[in-house]
Amino acid sequence: MNSPRVLVMDFGSQYVNLIARRVRELRVHCEIVPHSLSAEEMARTLPSAIIMSGGPASVYEQTAPKCDPGIFDLEIPVLGICYGMQLAVMALGGEVRRAERREYGPAEVELDPECQLFDGVPSPTSVWMSHGDSVASLPPGFRVAARSANTPVAAIEDPQRRIYGVQFHPEVVHTAHGREILANFLLRISGLPGDWTPGSFIEETIAAIRRQIGDDRAVCALSGGVDSSVAALLTARAIGDRLTCIFVNHGLLRKGEPEEVEKVFRGHFHLNLVVVDARERFLSRLAGIEDPEAKRRVIGEEFIRVFEEEAARLGDLRFLVQGTLYPDVIESTAKDTGPAAKIKTHHNVGGLPEDLKFELVEPLRLLFKDEVRLIGAELGLPDTILGRHPFPGPGLAVRALGEVTAERIEILREADAIVTEEISRAGLYSDVWQAFAVLPTGRSVGVMGDGRTYSYFVVVRAVVSEDGMTADWARLPHSVLERISSRIVNEVAGVNRVVYDITSKPPATIEWE
Ligand code: XMP
């Protein structure tokens, strides 16, 4: 029943999901399981291999996460990474000691060419180390398979029992041949077929959603963004019209967006879609509010209110579908434990409070954004949705600076559409992370025909970025900027000037509010 797969045991490493991601990249199905899973429970699910993750603890700490030593008797190949390797060493009768020097960062390791884990990997090779403990003596049956200047036991193997350990992190990009090492473990040593695809993810996820929701009904806040769209489509495949999607048009969307959402989800995918026209409601709640954080708060609260009202209309619903991604999971965990400074209150449409009475269905919880795009493409989501630039939950409200009025949002929406059109026409849309218009407060003097004007001005913001955390302003060709400028002043009444934002992030942010 189960497809061949690897279990990744979670010992608390920040890299657990990165391991899972690397495994998926090798087209192997992977499941993250708690470290406390017993050998018996593990055996019942018939895994083809086990990876023990790293973790921040020291194996000698009282509270350090342990594992059932029985897993080493299952005759299933095991790879321990960092803490995982130290735990295996302890469990099998070796010794781990606090290293004289904590090792953190790049290191060169010499590999034993006999070790299958390193087939095809040049030696020495650079790896990423991050550990305080080291293996001092090996358990019976083991040999050293790699060493570095600081770490005499950088990898170990018991090829008979197919138990391996690496002190470094093959999952991070700083380990030059990490991918090959993981491939050797999964495909060669463990004999996994490497034929898992986004299609398999879809099938498995649909089955899991069916198991979770049973005969009940679910509701989803659809924003038209990639994440909620993919989550909704997967759920609809699982439970059909027992899923209702609620799309709240708060009047702060990009030009053509509400129409596109209806066309795609109702017209093409035949989803059960409720479109709520809440434009007036949001405008009146926003009247007179100028402070960016206050605007975000009001929009967030109002969104929840509208959503709750609409969901209540649907009767008794138990489940709420959300397009939460792995980075969101990490971010919210970090928020709970870390003192990270709040720069802006990011609000995702569909980011609903925890005290809602729903049980959550989060089919994308373990995926990264680019993986969600792959799944979306496989599900047939059109490029207009898949490739669309990120858009903040509070929408145009954080791009029309100061007070939000119907008139100013309309001006901004038209100017923004021109920016998008011209950048697309120049073939640059997917080269930039985001490109949009901003409408600052204030006016500037201009001259049109024979008359003096005193009108709004528009800022064009276009940035390149990997992940939105840092960004640089896009060096758009002058010809494109020229067309954007002349079209905006000619076509958008009330605007007499266009400027280009040439600030990177940091120190600026991508959005203006
Ligand atoms: P900043 O302005 O902080 O934005 O440099 C970084 C990225 O996040 C997007 N952004 C948001 N996304 N809800 C969202 O879902 C929000 O409230 C929000 N605010 C900013 C922004 O568009 C950029 O891609």
Per-residue pLDDT of the chain (513 residues; tens, 9 = 90+): 457 889 999 998 888 989 999 999 999 988 888 999 999 999 988 899 999 999 988 998 889 999 999 999 999 999 999 999 999 999 999 999 987 777 889 999 999 999 999 999 999 999 999 888 999 999 999 999 999 988 999 999 999 999 999 999 999 999 999 999 999 999 999 999 999 888 989 999 999 999 999 999 999 999 999 999 999 999 999 999 999 999 999 999 999 999 999 999 999 999 999 999 999 999 999 999 999 999 999 999 999 999 999 999 999 899 999 998 876 665 554 433 333 344 445 545 445 666 678 899 999 988 888 889 999 999 999 998 999 999 999 999 999 999 999 999 999 999 999 999 999 999 999 999 999 999 999 999 999 888 999 999 999 999 999 888 899 999 999 999 999 999 999 999 999 999 999 999 999 999 999
Dihedrals phi, psi of 359, to nearest 5 degrees: -90, 140
Residue from 72, 218, 220, 86 nearest 158 by CA: 72
| Residue given tokens 């609000």 in the structure block | 347
**Residue 495, exposed/middle/buried by CB under 10 A (0-12, 13-18, 19+)?**
buried
End-to-end CA distance of the chain: 51
The question of whether 171 is a catalytic residue gets the answer yes
**For ligand 1, what atom is nearest to the CA of residue 348?**
15
Q: What's residue 245's pLDDT? A: 98
Neighbour-count burial of 3, counting CB atoms closer than 10 A to its CB (0-12 exposed, 13-18 middle, 19+ buried)? middle
Please, which residues bridge with residue 248 across strands?
276
Cβ–ligand 1 contact at 125 (below 6 Å): no
Task: Report the C-alpha gap between 318 and 216 in whole angstroms.
Answer: 7
> Which ligand 1 atom is the nearest neighbour of the CA of 389?
24
Cα(221)–Cα(352) distance, rounded to whole angstroms?
9
CA distance 120 to 276: 58
Measure the CA–CA gap between 151 and 135, rounded to whole angstroms: 9
Residue 91 CA to residue 96 CA, distance in Å, equals 11
Which region holds residue 12: left if phi is over 0, alpha if psi is between -120 and 50, else beta? Answer: left
Closest CA to 132 of 55, 205, 21: 55
pLDDT of residue 131: 83
Q: Whose CA is nearest to atom 4 of ligand 1?
A: 510
Q: What residue ranges in 115-161 does DSSP mark as E strands?
A: 125-137, 143-148, 155-158
Identify the pLDDT of residue 104.
85
Are the beta carbons of 227 and 220 closer than 8 angstroms?
A: no
d(CA 181, CA 171): 9
Q: How far is the CA of 391 from the centre of ligand 1 (A)?
A: 7
Name the catalytic one among 157, 171, 180, 257: 171
Confidence (pLDDT) at 282: 98
What is the pLDDT, as a whole number, of residue 5? Answer: 87
- Looking at residue 2, what is its pLDDT? 58
* Ligand 1 neighbourhood includes 223 CB (under 6 angstroms): no
Nearest to 48 by CA among 27, 75, 13, 85: 75
CA triple 396-458-509, angle to 5 deg: 60
Distance (angstroms) between ligand 1 centre and the Cα of 395 equals 9
Which residue among 388, 465, 510 is best mutated to probe the pocket of ligand 1, counting the most ligand atoms within 8 A of its Cβ? 510
Residue 335 confidence (pLDDT): 39
Q: Give me ligand 1 centre to Cα 342, in Å.
A: 13
Q: Which two tokens stand for residue 271?
A: 């989803």
pLDDT at residue number 343: 47
DSSP assignment, residue 471?
B
Of 243, 229, 240, the residue nearest 381 (C-alpha): 229
Tell me how far the alpha carbon of residue 468 lies from the centroid of ligand 1, in angstroms. Answer: 8
The whole-angstrom separation of Cα 310 and Cα 314 is 7
Residue ranges of alpha helices (H) inside 273-381 are 279-286, 292-313, 326-337, 369-378
Q: Are the CB atoms for 509 and 465 separated by under 8 Å?
A: no
Which of 128, 9, 15, 149 is CA-nearest to residue 80? 9
Beta bridge partners of 135: 96
**Are 461 and 440 contacting, i.e. CB atoms less than 8 angstroms apart?**
no
Say which amino acid occupies 252. Answer: L
pTM of the shown model:
0.78
Residue 424 CA, distance from chain mean position: 25
d(C-alpha 62, C-alpha 53), whole Å:
19
Strand-pairing partners, residue 333, are none
Q: What share of the chain is helix, strand, coil (3-state, %, to 5)?
A: 35, 25, 40
Instruction: State in Å: Cα 393 to ligand 1 middle.
Output: 8
pLDDT at position 366, please?
Answer: 81
Which token pair is 210? 């069916």
Nearest to 11 by CA among 106, 79, 107, 97: 79
Phi, psi dihedral angles at 74 (to 5 degrees): -80, -5
The per-residue pLDDT for 329 is: 63
How, if at all, do strands 495-500 and 451-464 pair? parallel
Q: Which two tokens stand for residue 383?
A: 């490029």
Helices (H), 113-196: 178-183
Query: Residue 337: its pLDDT value, please?
Result: 32
CA distance 278 to 247: 10
Tell me whether residue 257 is one of the annotated catalytic residues.
no
Catalytic status, residue 346: no
Q: What distance in Å separates the CA atoms of residue 258 and residue 264, rounded to the nearest whole number? A: 10
Taking alpha carbons only, the member of 90, 172, 100 closest to residue 131 is 100
